[in-house]
């Protein structure tokens, strides 16, 4: 398919996981892709995307900070003269434990990781989309808004859902769609950049296993998904085929609706 031919697509969180799979798929479907991550691995991933004279650009930015989002959207716009699609995938659980065991600094870190990159990136890209009178934002939330042992992460992803529905109402008059996917448990290649410390001790490993068990038990299909299954849903929502969809959060979780 060539659904994104001639379109400029910015994908955040592209060093690995769902973000990388999404960037690769968009590129394969004809997009001019700008990959964003705070790890230098993003340059390696971007360097591997070459086809028909097209190449991807990798940019490093800390999207937990507003200045990082502003700078990267400005640079992406300068490279291509426009931005057609923004996909926000940055986020992920850092710790896994019952809420009463989270110290305040970890709660704040979870929210910074999984809410602010989307909040800032939407704000940073919006003036460009409004000026051109069109565009699509696809946020990546999570069905873990209804899950155990990660209340701060759930709160952050609930915020992503709220950004999606509220911004869709504001942006529609400018020809801008805002949508989201809500992934369930997703198998991915081994992480090259860790989200946080590995579980320490039997108790922390047991808390993490509770998440795994609850995730599988909540799906009708009884399994984790793949990064390609997540990227396929994101690409659909970003594509012209979804032109009459906005303000929606699509669960991609084997029947778990979150």
> What is the reported pLDDT for 194?
72
Give the pLDDT confidence score for residue 205 in this predicted structure. 94
3-state secondary structure 193-256: CCCCCCCCHHHHHHHHHHHHHHHHHHCCCCCCEEHHHHHHHHHHHHCHHHCCCCCCEEEECCCC
Between CA 186 and CA 216 the distance in angstroms is 10
pLDDT classification of 252: cutoffs 50, 70, 90: very high
- 36, β-bridge pairs: 12, 59
- Which listed residue (66, 102, 128, 153) is catalytic? 153
What is the pLDDT, as a whole number, of residue 189? Answer: 80
Taking only the tens place, the pLDDT of each residue in 25-44 is 999 999 999 999 999 999 99
Portion of the chain with pLDDT greater than 90, in percent: 91
Range in 25-29, 95-99, 189-193, 202-206 the model is least confident about: 189-193
Flag whether pLDDT at 200 surpasses 90. Answer: no
> Looking at the predicted structure, is the pLDDT value of residue 187 above 80?
yes
Annotation marks residue 208 as catalytic: no
Segment 19-26 shows an average pLDDT of 97
Q: Considering the chain, what is the average pLDDT of its residues?
A: 96
Q: List 59's β-bridge partners, or say none.
A: 36
pTM over 0.85: yes
Structural domains of the chain sorted by starting position, each given as residue range(s) with its CATH number in brackets? 8-252 (3.40.50.720)
């Amino acid at each position: 398919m060539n659904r994104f031919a001639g379109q400029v697509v910015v994908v955040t969180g592209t060093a690995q996981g769902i973000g990388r799979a999404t960037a690769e798929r968009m590129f394969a479907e004809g997009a001019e892709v700008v990959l964003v991550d705070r790890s230098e691995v993003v340059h390696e991933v971007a360097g591997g995307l070459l086809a028909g004279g097209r190449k991807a650009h990798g940019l490093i930015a800390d999207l937990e900070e507003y200045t990082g989002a502003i700078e990267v959207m400005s640079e992406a716009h300068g490279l291509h003269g426009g931005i057609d699609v923004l996909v926000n995938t940055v986020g992920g659980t850092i710790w896994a434990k019952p809420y009463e065991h989270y110290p305040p600094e970890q709660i704040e870190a979870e929210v910074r990781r999984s809410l602010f990159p989307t909040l800032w990136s939407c704000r940073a890209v919006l003036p460009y989309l409004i000026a051109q009178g069109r565009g699509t934002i696809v946020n990546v939330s999570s069905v873990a808004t209804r899950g155990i042992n990660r209340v701060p992460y759930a709160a952050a992803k609930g915020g992503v859902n709220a950004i999606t529905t509220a911004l869709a109402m504001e942006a529609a008059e400018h020809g801008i769609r805002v949508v989201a996917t809500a992934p369930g448990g997703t198998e991915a290649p081994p992480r090259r950049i860790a989200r946080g410390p590995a579980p320490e001790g039997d108790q922390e490993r047991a808390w993490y296993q509770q998440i795994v068990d609850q995730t599988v038990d909540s799906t009708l299909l009884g399994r984790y998904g793949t990064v390609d299954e997540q990227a396929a849903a994101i690409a659909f929502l970003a594509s012209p085929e979804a032109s009459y969809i906005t303000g929606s959060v699509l669960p991609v979780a084997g029947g778990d609706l979150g």
